[in-house]
Copies of this chain bind each other. A is one copy, B any other.
Amino acid sequence: MRPNNVLECWAQGRAAVSGWLAIGNTYSAEIVGCSGVDCVTVDLQHGMTDVQQMIGMLQAISATPATPFVRVPSCDPAIMMKALDAGAYGLICPMVDNVQQAQAFVDATHYPPTGTRSFGPTRGLLYGGADYFKHADQTIVRLAMIETLPGLEAVEDILAVEGIQGIFIGPADLGLALGKGPVGDPVDPDVLAAIERCRQAAAKAGKHIGIFCTSGAVAARYAAQGFDFVVPNHDANLLKAVLASEVQSARG
């Protein structure tokens, strides 16, 4: 089975850098996949795209050196299985509040007897290879998002769920949950403390921790702190920022 870049990064002790797709398009997906990232995450939750377009985007990412990930919109097993069948090598599940949800995430993404994933790895076979079934459970990365108060309170327990390789922090949602507003790169001490609690919990559990960042510089800062899956913002935000700057320059 084709290896998962993110697992290889982790085996080498370095942080994986992930692109993030809010624009639902195969060409921009390929651009992001060719940008030097280790993986690219199709965002089905807040991204302006859906399952149909995700298939083409996963194909476009497959034409690049990057490994395809999907942030699913919820813990719904049907969409998790669909993303895996379409070739996703990693799933990020939003708003995991408790062990039950984390376990449901694990169940839906492992084949029996470990889990309840239905067999039919349509495109997974093409992308992964003929031995997909044998290695899929171990090759797929599962990150549970900690971004709500219940999730934060249960972070140690969620990390203890077998089959979850780590957690992923959504700082804006976490800040909002803590009553501090949706700040992309938080400076509020309570939010920073919550993020630090997650980091320590992951470290203690021997698991991985990722975070959505507002820039490459912020990503580097978190990577230096031990975060090993960092996202230097999504395509739509980056395009917005660079356009604002270039248009202003053009105005002289």
A233 / chain B contacts, CB cutoff of 8 Å: 246
Knowing A46-B122, A118-B94, the reply to whether A247 touches B232 (Cβ < 8 A) is yes
User: Provided the pairs A126-B34, A177-B112 are in contact, do residues A219 and B250 lie with their beta carbons within 8 angstroms?
Assistant: yes
* Copies of this chain, whole number: 6
- Quick check: is A100 within 8 A (CB to CB) of the other chain? no
List A residues 107-127 near B (Cβ within 8 Å).
111-113, 116, 118-123, 126-127
Residues of B within 8 A of A86 (CB): 48
- Given A23-B23, A35-B243, A250 and B230 touching (CB < 8 A)? yes
A182 near B239: Cβ-Cβ < 8 Å: no
Asked if A216 is at the interface (CB within 8 A of a chain B CB), the reply is yes
Partner of A27, one of B27, B147, B223, B236: B236
Cβ-based interface call for A189 (8 A): no
For A45, A55, A82, the residue with the greatest tally of chain B CB atoms inside 10 Å of its CB is A55
With an 8 A cutoff between CB atoms, is A158 at the interface? Answer: no
Q: How many residues of A contact B (CB 8 A)?
A: 95
Contact assessment for B22 and A24 in the assembled complex, using a CB-CB cutoff below 8 Å: no
Given contacts A45-B118, A179-B113, A220-B250, contact A239 B240 (CB under 8 A): no
A98 at the interface (CB under 8 A from B): no
Interface string of A50-61 (1 = CB under 8 A from B): 111101100110
Bound-state Cα–Cα, A216 to B245, Å: 8
Q: Which residues of A pack against B, CB within 8 Å?
A: 17, 19, 22-28, 30-32, 34-37, 45-53, 55-56, 59-60, 62-64, 73-74, 76-79, 81-82, 85-86, 94-95, 111-113, 116, 118-123, 126-127, 133, 147-148, 170, 172-173, 176-177, 179, 181-182, 213, 215-217, 219-220, 223-224, 230, 232-233, 235-236, 238-252
